[in-house]
Structure 1
Amino acid sequence: MLRAFLRTEAGSTSVLFAATVLALVWANSPWSHTYEAFWHTPMGISFGDAAFSLDLRHWVNDGLMTVFFFLIGLEVSYEIRLGQLRDRRLVAVPAVAAFGGMLVPAGIYLILNAGGPGAGGWGVPIATDTAFVLGVLAVAGARCPDPLRAFLLTLAIVDDVLAIFIIAVFYTEQLSVPALLIAALLLAAIVTLRWLRIWRAPAYIVLGFSLWVATLQSGIHPTLVGIALGILVFVYAPTDHKLLLAGEAVQVFTSTPSARAAREATRRVQRAVSVNERLQLRLHPWSSYVIVPVFALANAGVRLDGEALRTAATSPVAIGVMLGLLLGKFVGISLGTWLPLRLRWGILPGNLVWGQLLGGAAVSGIGFTVALFIVDLAFKDPVLHDQAKIGILTGSLLSAALGWLIFKLAWDRGGVCAPPEAEPSEELPVTLTVPVGPGDHVRGPAEARVTIVEYADFECPYCGRIHPVLEEVLRKNPDVRLVFRHFPLRTLHPRAAPAAIVAEAAADEGRFWEMHDILYDNQRFLTDADLEHYAAELAVDAWGNVSRHVARIGLDETSGRDSGVRGTPTLFLNGRRYEGSLDLDSITRAVEEIRESP
């Protein structure tokens, strides 16, 4: 579920970006007057004397965006019941980070705007745009492992829920009690159908649309209907009984294919999966590729002529939004991550380094979809409206640039795969506790002047990056040898341990280094099938003597922990921990210094 969500959102980023650019081009073209004219075109339905009409922008913002928030409700419901939000330890850190990432931006904005005409816009810089953030992480590639995406996705879910609460409480101007009562009755009817386990799609569609109209008339923003209905949709893990029935139906179709058997197999398989998951699968592409881009097209168009930019450069609204997104999100999420880790309130969804977390905090300042949404609610003055949009665009671009820079610096400095909470306060050993012996995997001359011992795992991106560096060091220095020891980070790199087992199986046939090179050349392809394929290429029994190989890997891990290894890659040069950068020049200088020492 999480991988499918990430794949859809990241893939739609280019469409969302194109829609944003198109809106800006349209709003700044010779035909700019048609932009607002088009989106103010009225459209509605009538039945006799009764009529219901909105302009196109409100159909998008109040109607289509309800589907967007319905998906958020589905995701929240799924994560609470079956996903990461079940584990309070995993929720605590991103939840506090999300809260900090909303409180600090709002505070920065109010420092500049309290008491002024733009004071009501404090909610604009509080929201993170999930689609754009995941798109930036996809571009960053290996610098952003899946645990970071999981952390930011959980943070975004909490962020969205808090944003919805803020919209409901602070951006509802007036209430119509009769319409609100009708909306409450309609919601109760939907809950009753759910309780009675009546699953008729037409009934839910009619009641849901009626609830949306009643909520719109009540004065409460109708997108709240979306998230409420999403949370109410049933979600469950497939039971053994349903899986058995589905399997039997598929088997019947396979043995005697017919239209009746195909229909029954389809029905049984669908029933095995919850409605929540089926709706997410069907609606995510529509939301990602149609609804959110159309929303951007309808709302991102802002005049960017010289006068507008000069005004925005001194506008406390534009500056407040920009600084709230750029600095407020970064500081708030960073502090909100550090505090619960420091107080041991929770854990991260994988071993993450601070460079990755800080990069994630920076890109979370990309506040686009919900930020534009709140602009429409917060400002009636068109001048302040446009200034806030300029602040959103500027802050989001700068946040993306800051995140990319942090990821690049962390990567270029040879970041080590180790979680921040794993960094001990006590002083770690600096010498190798277990000297190189006959059981080690050694590449290079036995009488080498310099011995490099590397603790690494085969899935670690930093280990993959240092692999050609160490090869070059060996090529240029005939008196240097490399010793490889396993240190798989199992929570961060789940394929590292199986890859290490296959490498040990290759070692039984005297082909460890061949397998070593194959695994690093194919780090993204380490499934069991991939590993078996590599083993077959080298005529190796991939899973023979697994228990012995696991014990052998455990010895390396123990020696690493006793030597103070807390992440990968960690190097020891002639038995001393190497503390320098993991680039060719730095390691070569360290080798030369050892060679020249008496």
Structure 2
Amino acid sequence: MKLSKTFKAFFESEKSGGLLLLSVTIISLFLANSIIQTEYIAFWETNIGSHSITHWINDGLMAIFFLLIGLELEREIYQGELSNIKNASLPLFGALGGMVVPAGIFLLLNFGTITQNGAGIPMATDIAFAIGILSLLGSRVPTSLKVFLTALAVIDDIGAILVIAIFYTDNIAFINLLIAFGIMGFLFILNRRKVHNIIPYLIGGAGMWYFMLNSGVHATITGVLLAFVIPFGDGSRKTSSYKLQHFLHKPVAFFILPLFAMANTGIAIGSDWSSELNHPNTIGIILGLVVGKPLGIWLFSFAAVSFGICSLPRDLKWSNIVGAGMLGGIGFTMSIFITLLAFKNDGEEVITYSKIAILIASFIAGTVGFLFLNFNLKADRKK
């Protein structure tokens, strides 16, 4: 199977970013539980203006991350692995199962409780981490498996964005929302008038972010909306969309996401940390990511192939899909992000234990997924 240059570049950048994320997460957890614990945690809560450093990262810098996701989604839809409905169908159904089943498991345990709002937490897949782990298996990984996992994670991101937009919004201030969409409409007109200078779009995007922030809809959604009004043209290297996407890759992978990881994994783990692991919320997160993800991805993929909607690539086996589903259980960035939104009114303790559950689940999913695929691919090579 021939890979597009876009896909290769995407896979390589996410691989490096995933390995860096793993490193800074370990460092952050170490510092948060070292002799400088108090100073380290207090640093992230330091106010700059009216908000803490963590708040600026989560509501400000992460909008740039979502802008990059939007640009990547647009390119994949127009020119990449998702531009062909045949290529997109299998990961599309896999991603759907990987969202529905984990959310169902979580709700089964938490419906009617104060933590039921966390159903979106185990629905997410961290692209960078999942691809980073897959890359450790080297050249033995079938090309179709790389495409399947990457496309699945990209589609999963679309699902996570929709979940954030629909279920994790506050009371909406419609005037501010209308102004934000009014700015977007103006930028769309610039697009149609073939204005390719990126500056007006970035200035307009900043305005959209401000009014979206004050509308009740989470401000990071601005990034995705802005991506789709920036001129894509023929998608060549000369287009505004390509230039901006190329420019943002390294700052996002090597600065914004590591910052997000450090700011949100600075968790002081007390001696009683395991006492909350039997709570329906933490059990729901762990089971949703570790069991629900691979089960849902395999089940929906198998059903789609069985009903003739799509086909399994010739270089893949169903055990490969199960292994990819296990790696899909690495929630991390998106899961933590949704946790912050889901439980922002429920106290820091709920958020902390949810983060611990995400870290445990992501570690289990990544380790088991790696070992399973490693054994599976070795067995395939011996045949």
Tell me, yes or no, whether TM beats 0.5: yes
Paired residues of 2:60 and 2:220 also in contact (CA < 8 A) = yes
Asked whether 1:336 is paired with 2:300, we answer yes
Q: What SS class does the counterpart of residue 114 from structure 2 fall into? A: coil
Give the equivalent residue in structure 2 for 1:354. Answer: 318
1:227 alignment partner in structure 2: 224
Residue type matched to 2:177 in 1? L
Q: Is the 8 A contact 2:237 2:243 kept in 1?
A: no
Q: How far has the Cα of 1:42 moved from its partner?
A: 2.0
Q: How do 1:214-363 residues align onto structure 2 when only pairs under 5 Å count?
A: 214-237=211-234, 273-309=238-274, 311-348=275-312, 351-363=315-327
1:368 corresponds to 2:314: no
| Equivalence for 1:118 | 115
Aligned 1:129-208 pairs, distance under 5 A = 129-208=126-205
Question: Does structure 2 conserve the Cα–Cα contact (< 8 Å) formed by 1:320 and 1:391?
Answer: no
Q: Does the Cα contact within 8 Å between 2:285 and 2:358 map onto a contact in 1?
A: yes
Instruction: Report how far residue 391 of structure 1 moved.
Output: 0.8
How far the C-alpha of 1:350 sits from its partner, in A, is: 5.9
**CA contact 1:39–1:57 (8 Å) conserved in 2:** yes
Change in CA separation of 1:143 and 1:319 when aligned onto 2, cut-off 3 Å: farther
Counterpart of 2:51 in 1: which secondary structure? strand
Q: Aligned partners of 2:39, 2:217: CA distance in 1, in Å?
A: 30
Q: Distance in 2 between matches of 1:232 and 1:336?
A: 33
Query: Which is worse superposed, 287-296 or 275-284?
Result: 275-284
1:116 CA displacement: 1.7
Number of the residue aligned with 2:3: none
What is the TM-score with the length of structure 1 in the denominator? 0.61
Please, which runs of 5 or more residues in structure 1 have no aligned partner? 45-52, 239-270, 416-461, 467-581, 583-598
State whether structure 2 residue 28 is matched by structure 1 residue 23.
Answer: yes
1:448-492: CA deviation from partner (whole Å, max 9, x where unpaired): xxxxxxxxxxxxxx2xxx5xxxxxxxxxxxxxxxxxxxxxxxxxx
SS at match of 2:67: helix
RMSD (CA atoms): 1.7
Mapped partners of 1:202, 1:274: distance in 2:
14
User: Aligned letter for 2:30?
Assistant: V
Aligned to 2:105: 108
CA distance change for structure 1 residues 114 and 4 in 2, over 3 Å: closer, same or farther?
same
Following superposition, the deviation at residue 384 of structure 1 comes to 1.1
Give me the identity figure in percent.
36
- Tell me which structure has the larger Cα radius of gyration: 1
1:137 Cα offset (Å): 0.5
Paired AA for residue 35 in structure 1: Y
Q: Distance in 2 between matches of 1:40 and 1:185?
A: 34
Q: Cα offset for 1:202? A: 2.5
Letter in 2 for 1:23: S
The Cα of 1:272 is off from its aligned counterpart by 5.7
* 4+ long deviations beyond 4 Å: none
Q: How many angstroms does 1:173 deviate by? A: 1.6
Structure 2 residue identity aligned to 1:372: I
Structure 2: which amino acid aligns with 1:43?
A: I
List gaps (5 residues or longer) in structure 2: 1-5
Q: Structure 1's 301 and 155: CA in aligned 2 closer, same or farther, altered over 3 A?
A: same
The answer (yes or no) to whether the contact 1:312–1:390 under 8 Å persists in 2 is: no
Q: Is residue 42 from structure 1 mapped to residue 41 from structure 2 by the alignment?
A: no
Residue-pair matches, total: 376
1:104–1:272 distance in 2 versus 1, CA, 3 Å:
closer
Q: How far apart, in 2, do the equivalents of 1:347 and 1:91 lie?
A: 11
| Equivalence for 1:494 | none
Greater RCO (CA < 8 Å, at least 6 residues apart): 2
Q: What are the Cα deviations for residues 61-85 of structure 1, in whole angstroms up to 9, with x where unaligned?
A: 1111111111111111111111222
> Given that residues 312 and 319 in structure 1 are in contact (C-alpha distance below 8 angstroms), is that contact kept between their aligned partners in structure 2?
no
SS of the counterpart of 1:29?
A: coil
Does residue 10 in structure 1 map to residue 7 in structure 2? no
